[in-house]
């Protein structure tokens, strides 16, 4: 296996074909942090999340190769889905972010539709999230198969913040998104249909086509009629989520995909349970406020605080 540079790994837009200045190669990693995240540590962290990585890396040879670091995690994380005939190929990178990267894949014979989205999370120490403790409040810790963790030693490790405990929190963060997608899809909320969860990856319905992913709502221009209908639909969805024990907690026009008159609400790892979270009403109000702010550009007047309060009273009191 070829070695990869830590700097390449952390730079989601790295392209090995483009010459880079020396200053660019060291940007973002300095001193003790650079020493701690060695090339081998990165590879070890990737392989720690893969089932039988050596076998999968040998059998799976996707069309999309990407940068050097991408080849490592694509082959090792998605190989299991290839073996299970849930994907047949990786076609392109759709979106890179500080928490995860999404790829467009050809569906395997046992997956629905023609295309599948694979959301691969960065290993725990390379995620860049702020205040994620806010969203963990009141949550059960979920294991690698989505089951609640009851083991006393494991819970102590999490409480004490050991390396093992932090790793379990990372796995739980991913499992929570998959569990939320399953619950909300079953409740009829327009979220991507979840397909599978394993290997640091959530496999789900793809929105768009092979050439172009569905754009986020913030970059779409709607007719006034479309805007009014979508505004009403999203508010109903927020209340349906609330009725089914979920508040998105980061909902905005950036987390709604719009494609040929249909839409999907995405990105649920930070969603919270309104029955157990102390700031649930505040997070609900923030979600509703962001929706109202976006649709104000179409001249749709609303009172976000009153809308959120009314939802809360109907569903929670």
Give catalytic residues, as residue numbers.
250, 267
- Characterize 4-18 residue by residue with b for buried, 16 or more Cβ atoms within 10 angstroms of its Cβ, and e for exposed: bbbbbbbbbebeeee
Work out the number of other CB atoms within 10 angstroms of the CB of residue 101.
19
Of 28, 32, 66, 69, the closest CA to residue 47 belongs to 69
Distance of alpha carbon 313 from alpha carbon 317, whole angstroms: 5
C-alpha separations of 257 from 75, 127, 148, 197, 307 in Å: 27, 23, 30, 21, 23
Give the HSE-up count for residue 94: Cα atoms under 13 Å, Cβ half-sphere.
Answer: 26
Burial degree of 153 (CB within 10 A; 0-12, 13-18, 19+): exposed
Alpha-carbon span 302 to 308, nearest angstrom: 11
Tell me which long-range contacts 125-134 makes (C-beta under 8 A, separation of at least 24).
Answer: 125/37, 125/45, 126/9, 126/10, 126/37, 126/42, 126/45, 127/98, 127/99, 127/170, 128/98, 128/99, 129/98, 129/99, 132/173, 132/270, 134/279
What gap in Å lies between CA 128 and CA 98, rounded to an integer? 5
Nearest to 34 by CA among 15, 51, 9, 14: 9
CB-based contacts of 108, cutoff 8 Å, min separation 6: 81, 82, 84, 85, 86, 87, 88, 116
């Amino acid at each position: 296996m070829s070695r990869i540079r830590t700097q390449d790994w952390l730079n989601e837009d790295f392209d090995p074909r483009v010459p880079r200045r020396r200053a660019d190669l060291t940007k973002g990693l300095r001193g003790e942090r650079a020493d701690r995240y060695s090339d081998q540590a990165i590879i070890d962290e990737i392989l720690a999340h893969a089932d039988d990585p050596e076998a999968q890396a040998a059998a799976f040879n996707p069309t999309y190769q990407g940068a050097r670091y991408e080849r490592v995690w694509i082959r090792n994380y998605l190989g299991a889905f290839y073996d299970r005939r849930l994907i047949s190929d990786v076609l392109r990178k759709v979106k890179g972010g500080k928490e995860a990267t999404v790829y467009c894949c050809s569906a395997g014979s046992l997956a629905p539709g023609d295309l599948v989205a694979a959301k691969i999370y960065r290993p725990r120490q390379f995620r860049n999230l702020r205040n994620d403790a806010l969203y963990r409040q009141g949550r059960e810790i979920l294991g690698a198969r989505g089951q609640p963790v009851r083991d006393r030693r494991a819970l102590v490790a999490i409480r004490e913040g050991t390396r093992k405990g932090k790793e379990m929190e990372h796995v739980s963060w991913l499992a929570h998104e998959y569990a939320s997608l399953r619950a909300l899809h079953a409740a009829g909320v327009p979220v991507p249909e979840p397909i599978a969860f394993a290997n640091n990856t959530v496999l789900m319905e793809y929105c768009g086509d092979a050439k172009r992913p569905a754009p986020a709502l913030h970059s779409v221009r709607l007719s006034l009629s479309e805007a009014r209908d979508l505004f009403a639909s999203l508010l109903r969805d927020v209340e349906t989520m609330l009725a089914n024990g979920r508040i998105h907690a980061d909902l905005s026009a950036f987390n709604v995909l719009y494609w040929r008159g249909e839409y999907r609400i995405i990105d649920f790892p930070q969603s919270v349970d309104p029955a157990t979270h102390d700031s649930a009403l505040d997070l609900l109000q923030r979600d509703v406020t962001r929706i109202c702010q976006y649709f104000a550009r179409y001249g749709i007047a609303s009172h976000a605080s009153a809308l959120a309060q009314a939802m809360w009273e109907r569903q929670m009191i």
